[in-house]
Amino acid sequence: MFLLLGRYLKPVDEIEVHLEGHRAWVRTHAEAGHVIAAGREVPLRGGLLIAVGVTRDEVDRMIAADPYITEGVAEYDVREYDMVLAAPGAEALKA
């Protein structure tokens, strides 16, 4: 499992210009089953994605296509975890 911690590099008004493209990118990976959760940080300074069923190389390729990255308005800190426990209903975290 990968935790992708997004951090905005530009003011929120510059981020929001690319929001719909970013959301489409997230939806594409969610529909493929690779992103199982995504959300905005509160207060708004970035976001979080949880990716499963992919390798680090695949995560890097995914990130490289995110409009936030291609437009230079955000960056990701990618962390990999070997999940050993998941609550009932959250077994996908162990994928």
Cβ-contact 8, 75 below 8 angstroms: no
Question: What pLDDT does 70 receive?
Answer: 98
CA atoms of 16 and 30, how far apart (whole Å): 20
In a domain? residue 23: yes
Element (H, E) at 51: strand 46-51
In a domain? residue 14: yes
In a domain? residue 92: no
CATH number for position 18: 3.30.70.1060
In a domain? residue 91: no
pLDDT tens-digit profile of 24-72? 999 999 999 999 999 999 999 999 999 999 999 999 999 999 999 999 9
Domain hosting 8: range is 2-82
Q: Considering its fold, how many domains does the chain have in total?
A: 1
